[in-house]
Structure 1
Amino acid sequence: MELLAALGSITFINLILSGDNAVIIALASRNLPPAQRKKAVIWGSAGAVILRIVLTLVAALLLKIPYVQFAGGLALLYIAINLLAEDKKEVSCQEASSFMEAVKIILFADLIMSLDNVLAIAGIADGNMMLLIFGLAMSIPLVVFGSQMLMTLMDRFPIIIYVGAGILGWTAAKMIVADQALGAMLQPYALMVEIGLTALVIAVGHWRKTRGHKEAITGSETTSFPGDTEK
């Protein structure tokens, strides 16, 4: 049961964090003829899978080093809070004019944008390499074909983002507690730390999101343009 929960978490988190990656894939290949476009998406995504698996394996090994896992947990807390706090931004990239150029753009963009995915998935897998590889291999096709649908659902049902942030917060807390050096002091209070940090992620992320919306509304109400005087 625990294995299935971890596998589900890897797939869910990969979907939530990979929306921008899926958009990049679509943008990079949209100028190509239909046949080349499909090949570019397939080969670019396949290369991205291999790159991400290699990077995640490296991250999983590094997280076993004392202090590194603690630092990784703190970084994942930051990622979890930002997942809630940040408004969706428009994603843009160079549009490729050839098949090989599209594949290069997809690979490079995925490499740059995958730090949060790599850290989150390595943390959830907790050193289980087979779970990590299987979870990534299974979730990548879902990312390519399902991210756009999930992004639409997240717009309609924001609770999905809160669930994702909660999973990331819980994973970050488990990483911090499991650190071989600093985590030893927190082991007696492990459950309280995990619940507390998960709640903190959701509370701080929600507060930042609410504050950002209020500032945006206030800014739009106070903005004036030259010539907008009453007659």
Structure 2
Amino acid sequence: MFDILTSPDAWVALLTLTFLEIILGIDNIVFISIAANKLPEQEQKKATFWGLVLAMVQRILLLFAVSLLIGLKKPFYYVESSWFTAGISGQALILLLGGLFLLYKSTSEIHEKVELPEHDEEELKSKNLVTLPKALFQILIIDFIFSIDSILTAVGMTNGIGDHPNDALILMIIAVVISIIIMIVFANAIRVFINKHPSMQLLALSFLILIGFMLIAEAAHLSHASFFGSEVGTIPKGYLYFAISFSLLVEFLNMKYRKKEEIIDDMEEEEESAK
């Protein structure tokens, strides 16, 4: 069953798949952090852990149903008009709804954090009635949306590997398990860091807006949507990850600068008190 692991090509594919799952899982960790931080403090770690465990189970089940996922790429409805044409598929519809949900969720969270007074925070939490099952449900929905793209990409990468049909499936399952374990190790630290720094929270929510827009564009591209004769192109993920990395670098520099200023201010206060 695991004879495929004796092949060097299989190990290269496994390492590549694991790295891919971790990179694509960053989006998931950001959303899990936002969702978990809405819960009472004693349930936040539990939501992060079980959210990732359930995501792992869901991805493995989706791998066993990969033929169904591939079938979602086929258009089931065509729209043709003088200014708009598209072939609507199940995959495109899932990505579109997921992108719209991320835009709505991220914008709502930014509105709460920026526009509403801080003294209304406890009242706001009681109105939202965020519970552990509700947070886990949201995490599973978002993971399902992210899984569609990553699993289909993994299927393309492992196509033709091994002598048996199940060899590629075994590699993909191992990659998913390893990547989720790595995410579980670091997810809580990332969640605490995001929750501790308000500017990082807004930055994370802005990333989710970018990802939501990318999902919508991807859905239009997969549908071969055309507006006034111009077909919608896809947004290269490298551009998105570069923007996110650059923004994080700038924010880390800002945090370091602010920390240095605080140290200088404390030293000046100590000198004044000594006088």
TM-score range, shorter chain: 0.5 to 0.7
**Consecutive unaligned residues in structure 1, runs of 5 or more:** 30-40, 95-105, 200-231
Which stretch of the first structure deviates more once superposed, 72-81 or 110-119?
110-119
Structure 1 residues 10 and 194, CA gap change in structure 2 (3 angstroms): same
How does 1:17-36 map onto structure 2 within 5 Å?
Answer: 17-19=31-33, 20-21=35-36, 24=39, 26-28=41-43
Q: What root-mean-square deviation, in Å, do the aligned CA atoms of Structure 1 and Structure 2 show?
A: 4.0
Give percent identity, aligned residues only. Answer: 9
Structure 1 residues 109 and 124, CA gap change in structure 2 (3 angstroms): same
**Paired residue for 1:55?**
58
**Paired residue for 2:150?**
125
How far apart are 1:74 and its partner, in Å?
0.9
- Tell me the alpha carbon deviations over residues 50-77 of structure 1, each in whole angstroms, 9 at most, x when there is no partner: 3222223445645432322111111122
Decide which of 103, 106, 114 is 2:139's aligned counterpart.
114
- Tell me the alpha carbon deviations over residues 64-122 of structure 1, each in whole angstroms, 9 at most, x when there is no partner: 3232211111112212312431124636567xxxxxxxxxxx5x455423234313430
Looking at secondary structure, tell me which structure has more strand per residue: 2
Match of 1:70, SS state, is helix
**Paired residue for 1:193?**
233
Match of 1:177, SS state, is helix
How far apart are 1:22 and its partner, in Å?
5.2
Structure 1 residues 159 and 9, CA gap change in structure 2 (3 angstroms): same
2:210 pairs with 1:166:
yes
TM-score norm. by structure 2 comes to 0.45
- Measured in 2, the distance between the counterparts of 1:115 and 1:125 equals 15
Whether the 8 Å contact between 1:53 and 1:136 is mirrored in structure 2 is yes
**Consecutive unaligned residues in structure 2, runs of 5 or more:** 1-15, 75-88, 113-123, 155-171, 241-275
How far apart are 1:174 and its partner, in Å?
3.1
TM-score norm. by structure 1 comes to 0.52
- Decide which structure has the larger Cα Rg and report it: 2
**Paired residue for 2:186?**
142
2:90 pairs with 1:68:
yes
- Measured in 1, the distance between the counterparts of 2:106 and 2:94 equals 19
